[in-house]
Chain A
Amino acid sequence: MKKKLFILVILIALIKFSIAQDFSYNKITQQEIDLKNYQKDTSANAVILNEFGKAEITLSYNNAIRLVYEYHVKIKIFNHKGFSNGTVEIHLKNNEDNSVSDEINNIAGITSYKDDNGITQVTELDSKKIYTTRDYKFQTTMKFAMPGLHDGCVIEYRYILISPFLDHFHSWQFQSEIPKMNTTYEAHIPGFWRYNVALRGPLKLTQNQSDIEPNCFSAGGGSSGCLHSVYEMKDVPAFVKEEYMTSPKNFLSALNFDLLEYTNPYSGVKTNVTTDWKDIDFRLKKNPDFGAQLEKKDLVRENIPPAILDIHDDTERAKAIYKWVQTWFKWNNYTGIYSVDGIKKAIKQHSGGVADINITLVDALNAAGINAEAVLLSTRDHGVINKLYPVMGDFDYLLANVTIGENSFFLDATDPLLPFGILPVKCLNDQGRVFSFDKPSFWVNMDTKQSRINTYVLDLTLSEDGRLKGKLIHYSKSYDAYLKRKSIKKFNTLDEYVDNMEEHFNKIKILKSNIENIDSLDKPIGEEYELEINVKNNLDSGRFILNPYIFDKITNNPLKLRERNYPVDIGMPSENRYIITIHMPPHYTIENKLPDQSLQLPDNGGIFTTRFENTDNTFTFSNIVRFNKAIYQTSEYQYLKEFFNKIILAEKAEIVLRKKS
């Protein structure tokens, strides 16, 4: 009985492995050729019939340890819109001096289609039509277009990628822009290496098997078994992007491998790559491109103008340091968490990546006696961070976190227009990890209290010939002030900015203008205009009709989907205030008052209010739209959509002024 059971187990194991086998190349069924559409999603322009990937760490030629990745896919293309699936790009990495690089083998492709006589024809990919382009220092790309594409054809291609970079164990994307009927990934990992495996996204695996293959790997006297795992999904729906969403990565189903530890098979020396934060803290501290750079406060101090160091007040000194770093560097558009060539070189060249600039900032603050730490985070496009265990690859950005008394601020010095404590939207994502090296690292919310705040205050006098004359004050605060400065800087001078504005509003004449705090980054920008607006649009005799929303009107609901699958992410809270006071000509009176509105989003998500007040021949209308959240869940979607609808309805209303008879 016992023996029987044992056999059964082996049998099951064998069956499992036969399931995990790659599907046969160039075996297209009549059914696949005849397929007219994909029943589970008839809107699909193409569907992946089968996709198989296999990655294993193995001994390659010259006894070098290599990561061998096989990819094989078969795609049904229903129509021309699906043809883009027939253009393939494969990226190959290489190291600094190009002495080791990825290699590609056995690229093969075949297209099968029904010809005009209903007979299945095949065209093979011509190896001369595979193009190689050296993109830049660290990457080469191979590209090809599958030959003989027809509506209804089936394409199939495969290749083997051999890589010396073992820490980039291929992740597997179960979901893509076209649906998949079957997608299978197989991994063979010798016991010398251990990876953390994490499945991201809402979809469930239809198969998830692991077995040990004994003695499958030997190198330099050491040998080990392999962990053989098979992951499979069936009937994976296409991923459809929605507007106002963060990185699709956060929602796409994928499998990621992160190297945990490895033992050198030749020397037997074990190296922990990812263990726990304590270990990471220790290693980052020793890292020449990270911890070592964060210890260069003496070097940085030599460059700081002494006058800054003499500032007595901590906050003022910190602000001066921040400003100094902002203006010292020009960001070279490189994003990453490690210094590229060391901050010494970056300082000398006045140019560097995110890490170079913000590490310099941390050092400079510390040099000035202000407590500052480095924060690692993931930008919005880069996705959210795995919190179950440390994954260094999840981080792609470095900021400074400064603590002054009770308050702490996040600082990013890559953009000279950013106010103290305000971050670019890309950084407002999930959590960041603070590293200070004299205490354990810890998580913080990337929450900056910043928002987009905008206020229009209009005080206008209406004359009987249909002109509104008076004053407009437009305040932009917090992040809006930053955006405003950016748009003003697109002009060579303030005069050119004002000229351009006047040129854009055909009905408005700007008589005088004054813009405050253009260079005081921490203060709101106040734009004050004396202006004259020509509104003589509807010349009913004795009546004057006016829509109070002269500026800042919402006319179109940005949310159009009936239902929403992913949260609506607007980046940060916002507040728009609009206050208009109009002094009517004598003998005029108001025919209709605008009703006061008040509307709230659930869970204190936002508010829309209007108020109308009038005394004698003056009236004031105010309107506030406030969104208190950065992210609205799908359960809040309908409310949010209706909220916009109500705002738009309200903004259609007109005020009628009538001459007293």
Chain B
Amino acid sequence: MMKSIIVTLALLATFYLVNAQQNYDASLISKDLLPYASAVVRTDELTVEVQDLDNTIVHAKMAVTILNENGDHMANIELEHDKSQVIKSVKGIVYNEFGKPISKFSESDFSDNSSWDGFSLFEDTRIKSFSPSITSYPYTIAYEYELRLKQSLSFPKWVSASSFGVAVEKSSFTFICKPDFMIRYKEKNLSEKANISTNSKGLKTYAWEVSSLKATKYEPFSPYRDNYFKSIEIVPEKFMYYGIGGSFANWKELGKWEYDKLLAGRRDLPAETIEHVKEITKDISDPKLKAKKIYEYMQDKTHYISVQVGIGGNQPFLASDVDKQNYGDCKALVNYTQALLKAVNIDSYYCVVESGSDYKVSMMDDFASMDQGNHIILCLPFKNDTTWADCTSQTIPFGYLGDFTDDRLVLACTPEGGKLMRTPKYTFKENLETRKASFVIDGAGALSGNMHTIFKGTNYDERDELVKESQKEQYKIIKKIYPINNMEIETLDLKQDKSFDPMTTENIKLNARDYASLTDGKYYFQLNPVNRITKQPPKQVRARINNIYINRGYTDEDEITYTIPAGYHLDKAPLSLSINKPFANFTSTMELKGNQLMYKRKFQLIDGIYDKDTYQDLVDFYQDVVDADNYIVTLVKGS
């Protein structure tokens, strides 16, 4: 009995101690921080202390008030660990609405799972995770943890808020190191300056603090989040990484280190393979065509399988391994292709890129650091004709990057050192979808005819997955792509021209009964049968904060001729619309001549950054397009 009282007292004491530091009563949160917030960070203290090149201690202290279930994700704690990152301790307390402690948790309450990304064959990172089960809101979770990093190349990055809908009362970042440990740092969207000083132990400290940040609301057409969330990233000059030492001050030196320590000496191939590559290219003299032949050989032989092991997942498998297994991830396949190219004396670069179709994210030209990229591509520096290739697809044409890695700064790791290079841009005029169709609508409302479409630029690969399917599947998918009810495909023909200016051609012969409906002597059908913007226009945003960002431009052109039953005339004014804006152009017109109805549509979106004040213009533009695309032709008998 006595013992249990003591335990209770001790428990109360700990509660009291932690509680004494801050009162987590939810009603103390300033009203200014509540709009659009589902969680409020009360305190966030991140401290990184480099004790030695192979020993960095990360200490984090966090308290978040969860206002409703949309904020629950902020109460989840997930800590990665692997050979180079060890969790030293983690514990925390959950408080109710009034700031009274209701439960405690420690490392034993965490579950430990593989951090499988859903597609890799293997990854050596694991995740310890915990989420409290609280059903009444608001509540507060306060916790702290300590990690030990056995490397000093890549430190945790500080960000003000990790997601939309999160407000911040106070957040700070402190970096501690020996006076002779040199660093560089990159602040983003931060007006607060670093406070640099020396602490009582004679260690150098860099400290930042922010407070009272409102929750960020999602805005459509926003720039990449790094452009508006506050963040700080720190890199060392001298470092140790998985037992490999190095130092760098710029991209040249970092790229050199990557080349020397992670890439060099991994390109040996069996003699037969070298012979084979020489054999298949012996009749080709142009180096670019030679490289194309080798790339196609690699595509044919290998396929993509992701295996993330070893030096932070940054070192490719041996080329000889890929040669035997016929598979590899992006690193391994680029390295293998380089090895094949080397066999015929063609130079190439191993390039780190941040891939993604939604945003074009560049390496920061003024701040070199590891971890800025997530993908590897190949660069072939032919004279006046720098050529690029992604080695993870079995089907894309040589020299084609598509929207995944185009138009951004990448790091080429060369024997002479790293250098930033820009991948080619596909302009809005080059990204084409051009369609010509000729349809007959008969007296019963059935539509039939041919449709011919050309895809170019980043649109080239729009049918790439479809081409690989069986005819049966192709028909199924085409019916989903084109919103014509009752559509039946008579013939479908897809052609891919994989030259240096690739193009896909699609020819469809189709029919659809009941395309037009006959009601009360009138004849109705939708003017734009296939290429409608069917979604709502982008939502309006009041008091928009971000400028408009259009990641990719393109041009769609549709030209359709309908032959309609004789003896009808239009019942309402024909569609005739032309809008020109800095960010887009649109024309949509129709003309009835005898029983021939001509429909022309051109939609052009122009990539770039536009002032936030023109956003309503963009919404209205889309609304006009949606309305025009929904135009229904009404015909009545008689002249």
Q: How far is the CA of A256 from the CA of B525 in the complex (A)?
A: 53
Q: Is A150 an interface residue (CB 8 A)?
A: yes
B residues in contact with A595, CB < 8 Å: 519-520
Chain A binding site: helix, strand, loop or mixed by DSSP?
loop
A263 to chain B, nearest CB (A): 39
- CB-CB nearest in chain A for B620: A506
Q: Is B325 an interface residue (CB 8 A)?
A: yes
The B-contacting residues of A in range 546-561, CB under 8 angstroms, are 547, 555-557, 560-561
Q: Is A158 an interface residue (CB 8 A)?
A: no
Q: Is B422 an interface residue (CB 8 A)?
A: no
Q: Are A545 and B536 in contact (CB under 8 A)?
A: no
Q: How far is the CA of A149 from the CA of B517 in the complex (A)?
A: 53
Q: Are A560 and B479 in contact (CB under 8 A)?
A: yes
Q: If the complex has contacts A81-B468, A592-B520, are A87 and B133 also in contact, measured as CB distance less than 8 A?
A: no
Q: Are B537 and A492 in contact (CB under 8 A)?
A: no
- CB-CB nearest in chain B for A41: B470
Q: Are B524 and A645 in contact (CB under 8 A)?
A: no
Q: Are B122 and A650 in contact (CB under 8 A)?
A: no
Q: Are B623 and A506 in contact (CB under 8 A)?
A: yes
Q: Are A149 and B536 in contact (CB under 8 A)?
A: no
B572 interface neighbour in A502, A540, A562, Cβ under 8 Å: A540
Q: How far is the CA of A136 from the CA of B37 in the complex (A)?
A: 34
Q: Is A123 an interface residue (CB 8 A)?
A: yes
- CB-CB nearest in chain A for B279: A116
Q: Are A134 and B121 in contact (CB under 8 A)?
A: no
Q: Is A328 an interface residue (CB 8 A)?
A: yes
Q: If the complex has contacts A81-B468, A540-B573, A560-B476, are A492 and B539 also in contact, measured as CB distance less than 8 A?
A: no
Q: If the complex has contacts A143-B122, A492-B67, are A148 and B325 also in contact, measured as CB distance less than 8 A?
A: yes
Q: Are B539 and A504 in contact (CB under 8 A)?
A: yes
A residues in contact with B36, CB < 8 Å: 492, 496
Q: Is A95 an interface residue (CB 8 A)?
A: no
Q: Is B113 an interface residue (CB 8 A)?
A: yes
Q: If the complex has contacts A87-B121, A503-B541, are A80 and B136 also in contact, measured as CB distance less than 8 A?
A: no
Q: How far is the CA of A592 from the CA of B524 in the complex (A)?
A: 13
- CB-CB nearest in chain B for A495: B35
A417 to chain B, nearest CB (A): 10
- CB-CB nearest in chain A for B220: A503
Q: How far is the CA of A147 from the CA of B522 in the complex (A)?
A: 64
Convert B522-545 into 0s and 1s, putting 1 for each residue whose CB lies closer than 8 angstroms to a CB of A: 101110000000101101111000
Q: Are B135 and A350 in contact (CB under 8 A)?
A: yes
Convert B360-389 into 0s and 1s, putting 1 for each residue whose CB lies closer than 8 angstroms to a CB of A: 000000000000000000000000000000
A residues in contact with B522, CB < 8 Å: 592, 653
- CB-CB nearest in chain B for A553: B630
Q: Is B38 an interface residue (CB 8 A)?
A: yes
A555 interface neighbour in B38, B134, B483, B524, Cβ under 8 Å: B483
Q: Are B133 and A351 in contact (CB under 8 A)?
A: yes
| Interface residue tally on B, bucketed by range | 35 or more
Q: Are B572 and A80 in contact (CB under 8 A)?
A: no
Q: Are A328 and B540 in contact (CB under 8 A)?
A: no
Q: Is B227 an interface residue (CB 8 A)?
A: no
Q: Are B133 and A129 in contact (CB under 8 A)?
A: no
A167 to chain B, nearest CB (A): 26
Q: Is B480 an interface residue (CB 8 A)?
A: yes
Q: If the complex has contacts A43-B471, A43-B472, A645-B485, are A87 and B305 also in contact, measured as CB distance less than 8 A?
A: yes
Q: Are B514 and A645 in contact (CB under 8 A)?
A: yes
Q: How far is the CA of A148 from the CA of B524 in the complex (A)?
A: 58
Convert B321-357 into 0s and 1s, putting 1 for each residue whose CB lies closer than 8 angstroms to a CB of A: 0001111000000000000000000000000000000
Q: How far is the CA of A607 from the CA of B121 in the complex (A)?
A: 51
A residues in contact with B620, CB < 8 Å: 506
B133 interface neighbour in A80, A349, A539, Cβ under 8 Å: A349
Q: Are B526 and A652 in contact (CB under 8 A)?
A: yes
Q: Are B113 and A506 in contact (CB under 8 A)?
A: no
Among B37, B487, B540, the one with the most A-chain Cβ atoms within 10 Å of its Cβ is: B540
Q: How far is the CA of A547 from the CA of B524 in the complex (A)?
A: 12
Q: Are B473 and A43 in contact (CB under 8 A)?
A: yes
Q: Is B394 an interface residue (CB 8 A)?
A: yes
A145 interface neighbour in B327, B534, B622, B634, Cβ under 8 Å: B327
Q: Is A247 an interface residue (CB 8 A)?
A: no
The A-contacting residues of B in range 95-114, CB under 8 angstroms, are 111-114
B50 to chain A, nearest CB (A): 31
Q: How far is the CA of A175 from the CA of B573 in the complex (A)?
A: 58
Q: How far is the CA of A149 from the CA of B326 in the complex (A)?
A: 6
Q: Is B88 an interface residue (CB 8 A)?
A: no
Convert A353-370 into 0s and 1s, putting 1 for each residue whose CB lies closer than 8 angstroms to a CB of B: 000000000000000000
- CB-CB nearest in chain B for A149: B326
Q: Are A137 and B133 in contact (CB under 8 A)?
A: no
B82 to chain A, nearest CB (A): 13
A residues in contact with B67, CB < 8 Å: 492
Q: Is A605 an interface residue (CB 8 A)?
A: no
The B-contacting residues of A in range 101-153, CB under 8 angstroms, are 116, 123, 126, 129, 131, 133-137, 143-145, 147-151
Q: Is B627 an interface residue (CB 8 A)?
A: yes
Q: If the complex has contacts A80-B303, A503-B539, are A147 and B326 also in contact, measured as CB distance less than 8 A?
A: yes
A residues in contact with B491, CB < 8 Å: none
The A-contacting residues of B in range 427-462, CB under 8 angstroms, are none
Q: If the complex has contacts A81-B468, A506-B540, are A594 and B519 also in contact, measured as CB distance less than 8 A?
A: yes
Across the A-B interface, give the 6 residue pairs with the lowest CB-CB distance, nearest first.
Answer: A43-B470, A351-B133, A131-B122, A330-B133, A649-B517, A503-B539
Query: A: which residues have CB within 8 A of B?
Result: 42-45, 79-81, 83, 87, 116, 123, 126, 129, 131, 133-137, 143-145, 147-151, 327-330, 332, 349-351, 416, 489-492, 496, 499-500, 502-507, 537-540, 543, 545, 547, 555-557, 560-562, 592-595, 645, 648-650, 652-654, 656
Query: B: which residues have CB within 8 A of A?
Result: 36-38, 67-70, 111-114, 116, 121-123, 133-136, 165, 276, 300-301, 303, 305, 307, 324-327, 394-395, 468-473, 476, 479-480, 483, 485-488, 514, 517, 519-520, 522, 524-526, 534, 536-537, 539-542, 571-573, 619-620, 622-623, 627, 632, 634
**29 A–B contact pairs at CB < 8 A?**
A80-B303, A129-B325, A131-B307, A133-B116, A133-B123, A135-B113, A135-B116, A143-B122, A145-B325, A147-B327, A149-B303, A150-B300, A330-B134, A350-B135, A351-B133, A492-B165, A496-B36, A504-B540, A505-B536, A506-B536, A506-B537, A507-B623, A538-B573, A556-B485, A557-B485, A557-B486, A645-B514, A652-B632, A654-B634
